[in-house]
Amino acid sequence: MFKRLLIANRGEIALRIIKTCRRMGIETCVVHSTVDRDSLPVKMADVSICIGPGPAKQSYLNINNIIAAAELADVDAIHPGFGFLSENSHFAQVVRDCKIAFVGPTSAAMEALGNKAKAKTLAHAAGVPTVPGSTGPVASPEDALKVAHEIGYPVLIKATAGGGGRGMRVAHNDASLVSGLMQAQREAEAAFGNADCIIEAFVQRARHIEIQIIGDTHGNVVALGDRDCSTQRRHQKLVEESPSPVITPAIRTSMMEAAVKLAKAAKYHNAGTVEFIYDLERQAYYFLEMNTRIQVEHPVTEMCTDTDLIRLQIEVEAGAKLPFSQADIKPYGHAIEIRVNAEDWQNNFSPCPGKIGVYAAPSGKGIRVDSHCYAGYAIPPNYDSMIAKLIVHGKDRADAIRLLEQALAEYLIEGPKTTIGFHQRLLKDPKFLANQITTKYIDEEFFKLKPA
């Protein structure tokens, strides 16, 4: 096992990694910027090294200084956490070239799966469902109709040269497809000088569901259940829960198998998350992308499976075989994670960095708070606005929601505005409670409704 591990990250995840290292008897070295000098990870790590000023580019993204710190502290492993350099295959390679273990997948696997287009090709080849559609630009209206009849309406007409919503239109039947295609081609020709359009299934009502996987260096990959992250605002996850309350056990099993298949195809090891879009109308899932690192919402899985994913990451990187097989994984209960951010949720979630006055986090059976904050801590404006992740684990979804309500009511944070109020309102939202939301719900409907 490693003797001393460097954490190339900050905040809550740095503290989270320190805690697991303490449990494993591994010394920790945390690097930090000048503005994080008084942070909890710095206080709690065995060794801390300042690597640069506040801006992430000059500190947490400064590969040169991080490697220099790793050498100075004489560490034998580096954990990148999430964000920052965690999905930077170049960094992973430099670390390994320095004969230091990088707690994460190989650079090759990172590149194969980190690039969306490459990953989709790989998924398709491995037999993992991707969004169905034409294999390339459609040659004629007849071609388009054929594809549409295969995959069913509604379909999306997408200019290959377009992007960001431009050159896209939806067709619900043959007539609108034919006329829409012609219009789309004309517009694409005019706008991009390229009339090519593809036809794809249009997912009208989507859930975001992902599978946590972990693999060792001996070729074993196990899926640790799913997480439903459909409560999003502008593609930012606000709530994550497990198991997803909208899919059947059969679909869950199929998704888990697909995720393992993809990881094995890429010779992937260490922790990763395979993200799927779930089409509520078609009751089908399609591969979206893969995150080749530990994720913010990993505690949701830990609560339901009694695992320590950070520990597993470190163990497999040290060469250990996974301590369980797929058959051993039997997630139980229901877990929900919400993010308490220093944001003014009633004012477009604008960030509110600043000093925390009184701080008292909830505690109790089934309640877990992952946080680096404390009373008197000043949230610096340089990084993200996360104050804490609040995770609950109950017998079932209703029980978890009840626990979450209690925990939110007990959470006392004076100073910056927080998103606690948003979550309290969400927990009273009939559509959220009845699992009737889609990934667009918060952006398009939630704020138009009067609070109950």
Partner 1 sequence: MDIKTLKEITKLMKDNDLVEVEIESDQLKVRLKKACAAVTQVVAALPAAPAAVAAPAAAAAPAAAPAPAGDDPSWKKVISPIPGTAYLKPNPDAQNFVGVGTQVDENKVVCLVEAMKVFNEIKPEAGIRGQIKKVCVTDGQPVEYGTVLFLVG
The set of catalytic residues is 293
In the list partner 1, a copy of itself, none, the entry touching 245 (Cβ below 5 to 8 angstroms by class) is none
Among 5, 7, 51, 404, binds partner 1 (CB under 8 A): 51
Q: Are 257 and 205 in contact (CB under 8 A)?
A: no
**In angstroms, rounded to a whole number, what is the distance separating the alpha carbons of residues 309 and 342?**
27
Comparing CB distances to a copy of itself, the nearer of 123 and 391 is 391
**In angstroms, rounded to a whole number, what is the distance separating the alpha carbons of residues 357 and 207?**
38
Q: Answer yes or no whether residue 139 interacts with partner 1 by CB under 8 A.
A: no
**In angstroms, rounded to a whole number, what is the distance separating the alpha carbons of residues 336 and 208?**
15
In the three-class reduction of DSSP (H, G, I as helix; E, B as strand; rest coil), residue 130 is classed as: coil
Over the window 385 to 414, marking each residue x when it contacts partner 1 by CB under 8 A and - when it does not, the resulting string is -----------------------------x
* Residue 448, both tokens: 């138009």
Three-state SS string over 403-421 comes to HHHHHHHHCEECCCCCCHH
In the list a copy of itself, partner 1, none, the entry touching 34 (Cβ below 5 to 8 angstroms by class) is partner 1
In the list a copy of itself, partner 1, none, the entry touching 139 (Cβ below 5 to 8 angstroms by class) is none
**In angstroms, rounded to a whole number, what is the distance separating the alpha carbons of residues 87 and 209?**
21
Comparing CB distances to a copy of itself, the nearer of 393 and 417 is 393
Cis peptide before 243 (omega within 30 of 0): yes
Q: Answer yes or no whether residue 357 interacts with partner 1 by CB under 8 A.
A: yes
Comparing CB distances to partner 1, the nearer of 379 and 400 is 379
Comparing CB distances to a copy of itself, the nearer of 137 and 333 is 333
Q: Return the closest-CA partner of residue 330 out of 412, 417, 418, 242.
A: 242
Q: Answer yes or no whether residue 74 interacts with partner 1 by CB under 8 A.
A: yes
Tell me, what amino acid is at 55?
P
Residues 10-49 that bind partner 1 (CB under 8 A): 27, 29, 31, 34, 37-38, 43, 45-49
Which run of H or E residues covers position 141?
Answer: helix 141-151
170 forms bridges with which residues in the sheet?
156
Among 1, 72, 98, 360, binds a copy of itself (CB under 8 A): 360
In the three-class reduction of DSSP (H, G, I as helix; E, B as strand; rest coil), residue 373 is classed as: coil
Among 9, 59, 212, 270, binds partner 1 (CB under 8 A): 59
Minimum gap (Å) between residue 365 Cβ and a copy of itself? 6
Over the window 204 to 233, marking each residue x when it contacts partner 1 by CB under 8 A and - when it does not, the resulting string is ------------------------------
Q: Answer yes or no whether residue 368 interacts with a copy of itself by CB under 8 A.
A: yes
Q: Are 355 and 377 in contact (CB under 8 A)?
A: yes
In the list partner 1, a copy of itself, none, the entry touching 50 (Cβ below 5 to 8 angstroms by class) is partner 1
Burial class for 161, CB neighbours closer than 10 Å (0-12, 13-18, 19+): middle
Which residues contact a copy of itself by CB under 8 A?
A: 19, 22-23, 40, 43-44, 302-303, 306, 358-361, 363-371, 374-377, 393, 406, 409-410, 412
